[in-house]
Structure 1
């Protein structure tokens, strides 16, 4: 089995679509897919898993997760929004993603002064900090699981499998906490919009 450090490295958390990755010209759907596969292809769980497909993009468009495209081409702004969708889709439903991104899409359509690139750079800065916090958290959890496991049963009875299960449960629980707080924030925003 790989070490925790090797597993963290496998996550390739530093991978993100940067402003430099996005061409200034509009792209056709196949080019968008190619860009995402090139950037995130080695972050998938299996070799068969696709980062982005035509069906996914069409579903995002039908679900109005991003503002309408023109002439079957995706602008730099579309690519940045699709990148945000990609980051959100592992934790949130399509409906929640739509609600989360609605303010940005609205600003892009209605507000000529809104600078999506500046907003996206802010997101990338937070993502880099989150990666550092995550690495430290994982290492802290490994130590905590070792301590908890040492307190279980008779000395030497706790197997490596049980210790790993404690870690899996802890990581899954934290993932659920983060997802649930994001959902609550979306719910609160929707309530305030209804008033």
Structure 2
């Protein structure tokens, strides 16, 4: 399969909102949208796709995916959370994202948490994941190529692409389902704690 290296490069996997990208001052919604557009523009599938919109942010706020804002401004902590939400919503439902972040938001409101340290770890793990992903893609590619070589088919290039897409979507589903199981575990933990409190 041609140009796998180019395809991976075009995905701009290294694009993340770093702590250095986040201003010390709180931002208005339009500034938040502009910051995300600038940072993640290269990751969009096409030029018509939006990274973040007012509707999205309002839905996150109404859905309580992050703690309430003050004076229509978003703090550094809000931007870190929105960045995590932006990545999670690609695989999880909004309700699952909310459940995942609920305890973190509660701790932030009670000032019992240093989100910056958690976010640094999140960025470090994401950086490591880029290498893991790249290596895994090449391993899958080798396996697919080996399988296609065994086939008697005139359209080997197409079959290779088809099987590679199937492999990648299968892996994506496995990871999503594993994440959903962990979200369910968080939900069950919350139910247990409520039961103990009664």
Scaled to the shorter chain, the TM-score interval is over 0.9
Task: Give the aligned partner of residue 146 of structure 1.
Answer: 145
Q: Which runs of 5+ in 1 are unaligned?
A: none
Summarize the alignment of residues 6-155 of structure 1 with structure 2, pairs less than 5 Å apart.
6-110=6-110, 112-152=111-151, 154=152
Q: Which has the higher contact order (CA 8 A, sep 6+)?
A: 2
SS in 2 for 1:46: coil
CA distance in structure 2 between the partners assigned to 1:53 and 1:2 by the alignment = 35
2:160 to 163, 166, 180: 163
SS in 1 for 2:16: coil
CA distance in structure 1 between the partners assigned to 2:68 and 2:75 by the alignment = 10
- Alignment of 1:185 with 2:182, yes or no, is yes
Post-superposition shift, 1:63? 0.3
Post-superposition shift, 1:151? 1.6
CA distance in structure 2 between the partners assigned to 1:52 and 1:165 by the alignment = 31
Q: What are the superposed Cα offsets for residues 9-50 of structure 1, whole Å, 9 maximum, x if unpaired? A: 011011000000000000000000000000001110010000
Post-superposition shift, 1:188? 1.3
Q: What are the superposed Cα offsets for residues 53-91 of structure 1, whole Å, 9 maximum, x if unpaired? A: 000000000000000000000000000000000010110
CA distance in structure 2 between the partners assigned to 1:101 and 1:193 by the alignment = 12
Post-superposition shift, 1:189? 1.5
Q: Which runs of 5+ in 2 are unaligned?
A: 193-198
Q: Structure 2 length normalisation: TM-score?
A: 0.94
Higher alpha-carbon deviation: 2-11 or 173-182: 2-11
Post-superposition shift, 1:2? 5.8
Aligned length: 192
Task: Give the aligned partner of residue 194 of structure 1.
Answer: 191
CA distance in structure 1 between the partners assigned to 2:83 and 2:188 by the alignment = 27
- Measured on the aligned residues, the alpha-carbon RMSD in Å equals 1.2
SS in 2 for 1:66: coil
Runs of 4+ in structure 1 deviating by more than 4 angstroms, as ranges, are none
CA distance in structure 1 between the partners assigned to 2:2 and 2:123 by the alignment = 28
Post-superposition shift, 1:158? 4.7
Q: Structure 1 length normalisation: TM-score?
A: 0.96
Contact 1:150 1:158 (8 Å CA) reproduced = no
